[in-house]
A and B are shown apart, each in its own frame.
Chain A
Amino acid sequence: MLQYVTLTIDGSRVRAAKGTSVLDAAIEYGICIPHLCHVPSLSDIGACRLCIVEHVRNGSSNVTTSCTLRVQEGMVIRTNTEKIVKLRRNIAELLVAEAPNSRAVQDIAVRCGVKEVRYPFRNNNCIQCGRCVRYCNQYWRANVLGFIGRGKDRHVDYPLGTRPDFCKNCGACTLYCPMSVTPCEGPMKRGEEHLCGKCESQLSMSASLPGACVRCDLGKGFQCARHA
């Protein structure tokens, strides 16, 4: 039998099956925690850091990613404090700087309240969310993609650098990649990168209902769990 625990997210009492993540529990209850690297049915690795929340314990709180945090009885979670909003905006800014040519990333940045990008654009076309890698290895068990190298040289690659013949060509890596849709105005050239920010109108609802999922379209690009 499934065991349930009760926790508090942003003041509301939430019941969730043991073993689920705080992020999944929140999404189920319509609480919006922006997330990007999370794919339902795959394990979470906490790569994008967008889903950070405050976990209040014994009077103090620490910030962790909610996708890798398992629910516990009596947990107190805050998803929308000033501190979290600020940190999240900063993270989203870094993501846009890393990969401005992704509509999904541009959208999520708008959702996180990014108004300007204070970092130099690196335009690397990959934010290392690991969605392709996990889909390939966990869902298909094809083991065709992986993170190679470390530090600033870490990147996604094939074994030995070439596409092996055991790749089934399923295309899921591209499908799940947040880079596969370019911004509406087309790819930005080097030196011309900017924050798109044209979808800000979508925020009018979420501004009046902070923390609640208003089914905005800003999560479509990476199959936000509410669109699945």
Chain B
Amino acid sequence: MSTTSLNVVLKGRRSQPHQLIEVLQDIQDLYGYIPADAMKTVAQELGVPLIEVYRVACFYKAFSLKPRGEHVITVCTGTACHVRGSTLLLDQIQGQLRIQPGHTTDDGLFTLECVNCVGACALGPIIAHNGMYEHHMTPGKLRKIIGDVYVTKKEESHHG
């Protein structure tokens, strides 16, 4: 982890405990997750107890403490999506990628996550692929999305 980029994030925010969430958000964007060392630095630089930094980082779904895959698939398991069959979607992903919600595939390509309602119930079941919402999802469409990622990956490695 480079300290310079962390320095950029912290610039002008040192000793300002109320900046905690913003700083964590930037770190999340920077690394795709929040490394333990970064949390220690943040605690020191902002003057917030480490337990507080950890608590906040664990509280919000937007923060991840583990490295995340290149493609984050978020399945909505809210009530509306549930009755419209989001469990089938989950089964599909779990079967295809062999990972549980909250985990990342060994090749670092996919991360599976669940949320409770993204606020688009009428369009359910919803999944978010790297933050982009895909509506009226079916196991079939999902299988294709995941398959396409693997195909592109293969082509890239062929040409690259």
- Listed in ascending order, the chain A residues whose CB lies under 8 Å from chain B are 137, 143-150, 157-160, 164
Given contacts A143-B51, A149-B59, 20 further A-B contacts (CB under 8 A): A137-B49, A143-B49, A143-B50, A143-B52, A145-B51, A146-B52, A146-B55, A147-B55, A148-B54, A148-B58, A150-B59, A157-B54, A159-B49, A159-B50, A159-B51, A159-B54, A160-B36, A160-B39, A160-B54, A164-B50
Q: Which of B36, B39, B51, B58 contacts A144 (CB 8 A)?
A: B51
Q: Which residue of A lies closest to B43 (CB)?
A: A159
A142 to chain B, nearest CB (A): 9
Measured CA separation A150–B36 after assembly (Å): 20
Chain B at the A interface: mostly helix, strand, loop or mixed?
Answer: helix
B51 contacts A149, CB within 8 Å?
no
A160 to chain B, nearest CB (A): 5
What 10 pairs between A and B have smallest CB-CB spacing? A143-B49, A146-B51, A159-B50, A159-B51, A159-B54, A148-B58, A146-B55, A143-B51, A160-B36, A149-B58
Q: Which residue of B lies closest to A150 (CB)?
A: B59
A146 contacts B59, CB within 8 Å?
no
Interface residues of B in 88-117 (CB under 8 A from A): none
Residues from chain A with a CB closer than 8 A to the CB of B52 are 143, 146
Residues from chain B with a CB closer than 8 A to the CB of A158 are 51
A131 to chain B, nearest CB (A): 16
A66 to chain B, nearest CB (A): 28
Measured CA separation A94–B84 after assembly (Å): 34
Residues from chain B with a CB closer than 8 A to the CB of A137 are 49, 51
Measured CA separation A144–B51 after assembly (Å): 7
B50 contacts A160, CB within 8 Å?
yes
Measured CA separation A61–B36 after assembly (Å): 49
Interface residues of B in 20-63 (CB under 8 A from A): 36, 39, 49-55, 58-59
A134 to chain B, nearest CB (A): 12
Most chain A beta-carbon contacts within 10 A, residue among B51, B55, B59: B51
Measured CA separation A167–B59 after assembly (Å): 23
**Can you list 25 A-B pairs, Cβ within 8 angstroms, ordered by A?**
A137-B49, A137-B51, A143-B49, A143-B51, A143-B52, A145-B51, A146-B52, A146-B55, A147-B55, A148-B54, A148-B55, A148-B58, A149-B58, A149-B59, A158-B51, A159-B49, A159-B50, A159-B51, A159-B53, A159-B54, A160-B36, A160-B39, A160-B50, A160-B54, A164-B50
Residues from chain B with a CB closer than 8 A to the CB of A145 are 51
Residues from chain A with a CB closer than 8 A to the CB of B39 are 159-160
Measured CA separation A159–B58 after assembly (Å): 10
Measured CA separation A157–B52 after assembly (Å): 11
